[in-house]
Amino acid sequence: MKLYSALGLIPGDIVAFAGAGGKTSTIREICSELKQDGYTAIVAPTTKMLLGEADGIGPLVTADSLDELGSQAKTAISGSGTAVLGSGLLPKDRIAGVEPAWFPALSPLADFVLAEADGSRHRPLKGTADHEPALPDGTTLIVAVANISALGKTVGEEHIHRPALFSELTGVGAGQSVTANAFARALAHGSLGRLPVGARPAVLITGVEPGYTMADASIITRALWRMGISKVVLASLPESPAQVWVP
């Protein structure tokens, strides 16, 4: 099963990826699958993205106006099928995010738009701040991502991005272990906590393999179902090509 099909992506979607533990590898995998199936895709951050994270996705296009960005993106997509868009380049090899209000105008240029909507400093799980995720206007699907490796780890900077916010949301304090319920709550009520009207929610748990991690992910999945999140997908990412399971 392909990842984009398992997550329920359909042509015309503006998809926001939020959370931690593999957003960029997820986007890269989905772009590869879409190209194989003859689809085109735009990838863009709404906050910031490292230049290195754009490698292997498609040509990078940056412009500080919507008209110029759209014109350059159209050319890039016609040549490669995918393009990474930004509003400019920042110090420390970063791409500046695209204004959320620009996304509806950019969406007709490709079959799919994939937006990286927040950061996690490469942690497997995160606490979500009040301003996160920075969703594009017109978002139709939000995919909350986390890596199974965070389960059972102690709450702190080493394993959790913004651990104080994670503790506030889940009730699991600093130095305590991340439970399955806390893991699920960080996704359902954090990354997916501000779901726009009409947008579809989904959760992707990465780092899963048959065996212990699969069993752990199944426990989290049941907790998510109880919280009203019915679309849950498990994947072996960052291993690529990814193995994908739908519980």
pLDDT of 169 strictly over 90: yes
Looking at residue 104, its pLDDT comes to: 98
Looking at residue 46, its pLDDT comes to: 97
What digits encode the pLDDT tens for the residues 185-211? 999 999 999 999 999 999 999 999 999
Report the percentage of the chain scoring pLDDT > 90.
96
| DSSP 8-state assignment for residue 29 | H
Query: Going from the N-terminus, what domains does the chain have, and what CATH number goes with each?
Result: 3-42+112-245 (3.40.50)
Stretch 156-168: mean pLDDT: 97
DSSP string, 40-99: -EEEEESSEEEHHHHTTT--EEE-SSHHHHHHHHHHHHHHHSEEEEESEEETTTEEEPPP
Stretch 217-236: mean pLDDT: 98
pLDDT of 123 strictly over 90: yes
Tokens of 111: 């079959």
**176: pLDDT confidence band, cut at 50, 70 and 90?**
very high
What digits encode the pLDDT tens for the residues 43-101? 999 999 999 988 889 999 999 999 999 999 999 999 999 999 999 999 999 999 999 99
DSSP 3-state of 148: helix
Looking at residue 48, its pLDDT comes to: 93
Stretch 2-29: mean pLDDT: 97
Mean pLDDT (the chain) is 96
Looking at residue 240, its pLDDT comes to: 83
Specify whether the backbone of 58 is left (phi greater than 0), alpha (psi in -120 to 50) or beta: left
Looking at residue 55, its pLDDT comes to: 85
Looking at residue 207, its pLDDT comes to: 98
Looking at residue 145, its pLDDT comes to: 98
With tokens 């240029």, the residue in question is: 109
Greater confidence, 15 or 240?
A: 15
Looking at residue 56, its pLDDT comes to: 83
pLDDT of 226 strictly over 90: yes
| In the chain, beta strands by DSSP E | 14-19, 41-45, 48-50, 60-62, 82-86, 88-90, 94-96, 112-116, 125-126, 141-147, 160-161, 200-206, 232-235, 244-245
